Amino acid sequence: MQLYYENIDNTLIVKLQGELDHHVAEKIRVELDEMISNKRSRNLIFNLKELNFMDSSGIGVIIGRYKNINKFGGKVAVIEVSEKVDKIFNLAGLYRIIDKYKNQKDALKCM
């Protein structure tokens, strides 16, 4: 699992590559929480173009970051979602709480 990020204004953009599963979930959770805190990010965008797989631990990472951002009035979005991960998001009902956008530019407009 590779994690890349950039901060634009008050939005943290995180690109996940590889597999977000129980083997790496805790490490990713800690890294994301540190980045959100250190950058004082109000909003969070996940770029999931190169995320190949996500299990229930990965879903937990996404939902947990949503809860952390949401309690301070921020928004969470996903962009460039791979077909496999899109199916997981649909089955888990994540699109009821997290918006999906085609690209970063569209997501940033709505933050």
CB atoms within 10 A of CB 1: 17
Residue 40 pLDDT: 87
Largest CA distance in the chain: 34
pLDDT tens, position by position, 40-69? 899 999 999 999 999 999 999 999 999 999
Q: Domain containing 16: what range? A: 2-109
pLDDT tens, position by position, 10-43? 999 999 999 999 999 999 999 999 999 988 899 9
pTM summary value = 0.94
Give the H or E element holding residue 77: strand 76-79
More confidently predicted of 1 and 64 = 64
CATH of the domain at 48: 3.30.750.24
**Number of domains, the chain:** 1
Residue 39 pLDDT: 83
- State how beta strands 11-20 and 99-101 pair: unpaired
pLDDT tens, position by position, 92-111? 999 999 999 999 999 999 99
